[in-house]
Amino acid sequence: MHASPLVTSEWLQTHLQDPDLVVIEASIGKVIGKEPIEYDSPVCIPNAIKLDIETDLSDLTSSSVHAFPTLEQMRSLLKRVGINQRQTLVIYDNQGIYAAPRVWWIFKTFGFDKVYILDGGLPHWLQEGRAVASAYTASTGCLVDDALQLHSANLKSSAEILSNIESSSFKVVDARSEDRFMGRVSEPRPGVRSGHIPQSLNLPFLKVLDGHLYKSPQDLDQIFVALALEPSRPIAFSCGSGITACILLVAAIVSGREQVSLYDGSWAEWGAGEGFPVEGEA
């Protein structure tokens, strides 16, 4: 396998019957920032299992929206569905590229090396006329590797984001729309202020996509260079609740940037916290 986080539909088609391959659909019910794709009837990639990002892969004991799962939660989930770190995981999304990068980053943060995103997701797979199924595969439980651990450097806390406003040790890039970033429109979540984190940059997530696919590594590099984000510059990505930020995070990795992290609380936490400074508030 190559170092890219992405695999093509051709690659997945070729390897679909590999015994150590696990295909995971990781879609999300509520889509913000793009027109949702609706399906008339159940359809999935053959042999896929379904993980729910809002229940299976969110810490429901946290007050934060879509909070990162805990180590114990992840260990319990993997045992229930029968996934371990020796397997190759391919994650796809029924919206093309939307929630799958978030789920990819969760698995990477818990130490999975052989985990990839299907570039283009289910829409691209369907456009190419590839085989589909009407039901997910039932998962079979097994023991989880004892080596499972959370790599905390992949995540940023609100305290780290706050101190960075003074230290500028990394750059914060916000994946929300320009109107939300500038505070021209109300936030979709009640009680959350409009605007953005001081000194953060705006890169709406749709700008790194070409239809359902990621843009080329060269085009993505040019996008980040235009924001003065050279490969050596550490970047923390933010959005509304930590989902679409991961679209940019993966785009940065594809472009050759490796010093990346996720502000998991994102604007749902920052905009609701009275002690956090805001720019661009209407």
Q: Which residues are catalytic?
A: 239
Residues 6+ apart with CB under 8 A from 30: none
Closest Cα to residue 28, out of 49, 54, 48, 60? 54
* Pairwise CA distance, residues 155 & 208, whole Å: 22
Count of CB atoms situated within 10 Å of the CB of 20: 11
Judged by phi (left if over 0) then psi (alpha if -120 to 50, else beta), residue 179 lies in alpha
Helix (H, G, I), strand (E, B) or coil at 178: helix
* Pairwise CA distance, residues 32 & 119, whole Å: 20
